[in-house]
Amino acid sequence: MQFRVWAPKAESLSVRVIGGPTVQMERSDDGYFTARAEVGPGARYFFRFPDGRERPDPRSLFQPEGVHGPSEIVDLAAIAPRTQPARAPLEKLVFCEIHLGTYTAEGTADAAARFMPELAQASYTAVEV
């Protein structure tokens, strides 16, 4: 897995995989840090600063323990839809934009899915997350 983060004010960073390796990242002149680690889907990680502070990946797709917890690697191919998505005509779309982290107490897609019938009843035809 390749890790990459932009931290132009940091002099050095490492990626710490929980239960796995801590790998020093290489800094480019434009402030990007990169590293490779032999980990796969389900692995959780933080970016670690020299003073010991740890931060989640700002571009993470999954934060199972919340916004301050570790990021988790997701295999998008494993969760890709297996059916053709429904296509409504553009003029029929009525969007409702939600933020999964605040839409329900649990802050998950599964919890938000329980509310889709209510959104449909309110005449929304599309949900943007």
* CA–CA dist 8, 22 (Å, integer): 21
CATH number for the segment(s) 2-79: 2.60.40.10
Of residues 82 and 120, which shows the higher confidence score? 120
Q: What is the pLDDT of residue 77?
A: 82
Helix (H, G, I), strand (E, B) or coil at 48: strand
- The answer to whether residue 5 scores a pLDDT higher than 90 is yes
Kindly state the percentage of the chain with pLDDT values over 90: 69
* CA–CA dist 61, 18 (Å, integer): 17
Compute the radius of gyration of the chain from its Cα atoms. 19
> How many residues does the structure list for the chain?
129
Rounded to 5°, the CA angle 44-82-90 comes to 105
Report yes or no: 14 and 44 within 8 Å, Cβ to Cβ: no
Average pLDDT of the segment spanning 114-127: 91
For the chain, report the end-to-end CA distance as a whole number of angstroms: 26
Q: What would the pLDDT profile of 82-119 be if each residue is shown by its tens digit?
A: 777 667 788 888 999 999 888 888 888 888 999 999 99
Helix (H, G, I), strand (E, B) or coil at 110: helix
Give me the chain's average pLDDT, please: 91
Average pLDDT of the segment spanning 112-128: 91
Dihedral angle over CA of 20, 22, 27, 33, nearest 10: 40
Q: What is the pLDDT of residue 100?
A: 86
Spell out the domain ranges in the chain. Answer: 2-79, 90-128
Of residues 57 and 105, which shows the higher confidence score? 57
Q: What is the pLDDT of residue 87?
A: 74
